[in-house]
């Protein structure tokens, strides 16, 4: 997702998949090589299936586009974390939104377009 267009496209697909599989989406960020989201879910199975479909479709399309079918692995397994309490929720929320700064893409998290942070202004 090196280009802004690919990040925007992926963000749209991710949000659609999460709206269909999660009960409430709290935060997200899409970076050039990974993404994070924070959601309330009843079943990890539903989210896992939605991400599997999303990852399969995007990796196939991107590998075809770059002529790298069979030569590049786009996505790896995802990791989930159970939010233990309100403090942990705030830490995760801030971690997600600060991630573009952490990785050196921007100096201010509000400058990163592919994030839910602007919804909280």
Q: What is the rounded distance in angstroms from the CA atom of residue 18 to the CA atom of residue 77?
A: 17
Provide DSSP, 80-94: -----SHHHHHHHHH
Sign of the Cα pseudo-torsion (85, 91, 94, 100, in order): negative
Counted domains in the chain? 1
Its domain, for residue 86, covers 4-120
User: Average pLDDT of the chain?
Assistant: 89
Q: What is the rounded distance in angstroms from the CA atom of residue 83 to the CA atom of residue 40?
A: 10
User: In terms of pTM, does the model score above 0.85?
Assistant: yes
**pLDDT of 72:** 65
8 A C-beta contact, residue 24 and residue 47:
no
CATH of the domain at 85: 3.30.70.1290
pLDDT band at 74 (very low <50, low <70, confident <90, very high): low
Task: Tell me: pLDDT of 101 over 90.
Answer: yes
Q: What is the rounded distance in angstroms from the CA atom of residue 114 to the CA atom of residue 94?
A: 15
């Amino acid at each position: 997702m090196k280009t802004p267009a690919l990040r925007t496209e992926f963000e749209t697909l991710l949000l659609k998949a999460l709206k269909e599989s999660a009960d409430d989406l709290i935060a997200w960020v899409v970076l050039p090589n990974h993404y994070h989201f924070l959601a309330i879910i009843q079943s990890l199975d539903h989210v896992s299936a939605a991400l599997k479909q999303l990852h399969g479709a995007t990796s196939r399309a991107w590998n075809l586009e770059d002529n790298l079918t069979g030569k590049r692995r786009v996505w790896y397994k995802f990791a989930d974390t159970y939010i233990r309490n309100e403090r942990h929720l705030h830490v995760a929320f801030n971690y997600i939104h600060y991630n573009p700064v952490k990785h050196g893409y921007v100096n201010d998290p509000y400058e990163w377009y592919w994030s839910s942070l602007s919804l909280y202004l």
